[in-house]
Amino acid sequence: MTIPLCDYVWLDGEYVHLDEAMLPITTHALHYGTTVFEGIRAYWNGTDLNVFRLDDHIRRFRKSGQFYNITLNYTDQQVAEAVTGICRRNNIKTTCYIRPFYFVGEHGIALHVTPETHTRMAIFAFPFGDMFNRDGISTIISPWRKFSDMSTPIQAKMGGNYLNSIIATGSAKDAGADEALLLNTSGNISEAPGENIFIVRKGRLLTPNLTSSVLEGITRDTILEIAAESGIPPSEKEISQSELMTADEVFLTGTAAQIVPVLSINSHPIGSGSGGGGGGGPGRITRTIMDKYNDLVMGKVSKYAHWLTSVY
């Protein structure tokens, strides 16, 4: 996927033209995946550009590195100003995606990382609309399992963790599907390569619990809150393959994907009849949540104004 990067990036505290943002080939993160990252969206509503849940992203950004003794050498306020600043510097007036990351720089080939290890930080941004078809996508259950907390911290958004996502995505594309769904090591539903999973079954909204090897997604948390307010009480639990395959509706959530309906799994249509996806589009509950989420990020819900950080 080619992305139209903006002209300026933020690198180690300075705005630098994209062509001048260079790293040495000895950068530790290139060799070992010692990179901490976030995916953040800012939404343009025709008048204002607002970053969605910036404080929550920054909080997770810092905590992810702490699992590995990788130090973020900037305060939360400095990171927030850099995120909004990169949008202003590039005069972005459209919905966009922002990628801040920090990583181990010059550290030789040593595997022992400490809080004193040299780290660097960068941010880039680009205009970004829908990642998937909002009317729905096809999926397969990947032959590759999601790793567990017994091997690597699930709640750390580390570059190296996403090799698992890359191989699962490849299996889906090779099978002609849009996206993969991963089982955990117990054989229950975990998540997609870059998204959390929700299902609607017998009128209940369900999502795998955190012990199912899922990232505690910020969009996931948003859906749990707005669903409860909409009279659709959600539950977090272990979800079996059979529960997934007999769901009335299935959708994925994530910062990049936003909310995307799943129309089929392994060529099996999800839902049937009124209110279900039925292979022909989002189900009733999925559509309700999609609409409410869109209103929220566009600044139309005053109760959640605190989740929006103004760029201009």
Single out the residue of 196, 212, 204, 213 nearest to residue 152, CA to CA. 213
Chain region(s) in the chain for CATH 3.30.470.10? 8-127
Q: Round to whole Å and give the CA distance between 200 and 215.
A: 20
Express each pLDDT in 25-41 by its tens digit: 999 999 999 999 999 99
**Which residues 6+ apart lie within 8 Å of 242 measured at CB?**
none
Average pLDDT over residues 8-14: 97
pLDDT (0 to 100) of residue 274: 41
Residue ranges of E strands in the chain: 8-11, 14-17, 35-37, 40-44, 49-52, 96-104, 119-127, 137-141, 179-181, 196-201, 204-208, 234-237, 249-254, 258-265, 268-269, 308-310
pLDDT (0 to 100) of residue 297: 98
Please say if the pLDDT value at position 275 is more than 50.
Answer: no
Active-site entry in 63, 157, 292, 300:
157
Task: Give yes or no: 157 in active site.
Answer: yes
Largest Cα separation within the chain, whole Å, is: 60
Residue 179 in tokens:
């996206």
Single out the residue of 15, 257, 295, 291 nearest to residue 128, CA to CA. 257
What homologous superfamily does CATH list for 137-297? D-amino Acid Aminotransferase, subunit A, domain 2 (3.20.10.10)
Pick the CATH number of 8-127 from 3.30.70.60, 3.40.50.10490, 3.75.10.10, 3.30.470.10: 3.30.470.10
- The pair phi, psi for residue 295, each rounded to 5°, is -60, -40
